[in-house]
Amino acid sequence: MPVVQVDQVHKRYGPLEVLKGVSMAVERGEVVAIIGRSGSGKSTLLRCLNGLEPIQSGRIEVAGHVLDASGRGLRALRKDVGIVFQSYNLFPHLRVAENIMLAPRVALGLSKRDARARAEATLAQVGLAEKIEAWPDNLSGGQQQRVAIARSLAMQPKVMLFDEVTSALDPELTGEVLATLEALARDGMTMLLVTHEMAFARRVAHRTIFMHQGLLHEEGPSEALFGAPRTLELRQFLAGGLK
């Protein structure tokens, strides 16, 4: 069974319909990139998958948790689904270790010792083991984003969602974060990434989805989709100079 299933999901903000009957499925271990112009609905879709935005109709099932318009089951869902945003959202008054340990201790009931062990393991996974006692303000933007990724990994999620995690970073720091995501992909993490990094999506994602006006307009294996886009809208988007 797919680990992510989306069936005819509609999302509105007042009279504005942002998602217009979206359906998709993601297999366990698959890396899916979601691309499209601003306002196409891609970030809204990601937020709906984590229950951050309620849907008006349709059905979402992620890692065995069913989400519908009622919004039931969010607490259980968020134990299995991590999400990382373009803003790092680290607590500035907590050291790196404490930022990572907080959710496992509160949400999972881990002891301080076990939570610390997870913090050490996930920081090593993102290449920042030596920063465990650092304050967030003493880290670069790329390092803060990698700590945010480690914080989500500490919950041992079954699915990871990434929403434009490099858009606030300069090219050098972007490379640090993309290398971390690529390592997660090699390790078999199920990942959905909203991204404007076209070369990364083409190289790393098993499949790419192009969203246009609230719909999944075109999708397919990444190399094929980027190499020979079928629709005029995707050809125009890729020709627009987005790298």
pLDDT interval class at 243 (50, 70, 90) = very low
Q: Is residue 243 part of a domain?
A: no
pLDDT of residue 72: 72
Strand order in the sheet with 16-26: 16-26, 4-13, 57-62, 65-67
Question: Is the model's pLDDT at 167 over the cut of 90?
Answer: no
Angle, in degrees to the nearest 10, between helices 141-153 and 112-125: 130
Determine the distance from the C-alpha atom of residue 217 to the mean position of all C-alpha atoms in its chain, rounded to a whole number. Answer: 20
Rg of the Cα atoms in the chain: 18
Q: Would you state the structure tokens that stand for residue 147, as one six-digit string?
A: 């700590």
- Whether residue 211 lies inside any domain: the answer is yes
What is the number of other CB atoms lying within 10 angstroms of the CB of residue 154? 27
Measured CA to CA, the distance from residue 202 to residue 208 in angstroms comes to 8
**Looking at residues 94-104, what average pLDDT do you find?**
96
C-beta of residue 26 within 8 angstroms of C-beta of residue 32: yes
Q: Please give the residue range of the domain that contains residue 178.
A: 4-238
- For residue 67, name the pLDDT band (cuts at 50, 70, 90): confident
Compute the CA torsion angle 126, 128, 133, 136 (nearest 10 deg): -80
Tell me, yes or no, whether 182 lies in a domain: yes
For residue 223, the domain's CATH number is 3.40.50.300
* 14-57 pLDDT tens trace: 999 999 999 999 999 999 999 999 999 999 999 999 999 999 99
**Could you tell me how many residues make up the chain?**
243
Tokens 């790393």 correspond to: 204
Contact 210, 237 (CB under 8 A): yes
Please give the single-letter amino acid code of residue 30: E
* pLDDT confidence bin for 95, thresholds 50/70/90: very high
Look over the chain and give the mean of its residue pLDDT values, rounded to a whole number: 93
Cβ atoms within 10 Å, residue 230 = 13
Domain count, the chain: 1
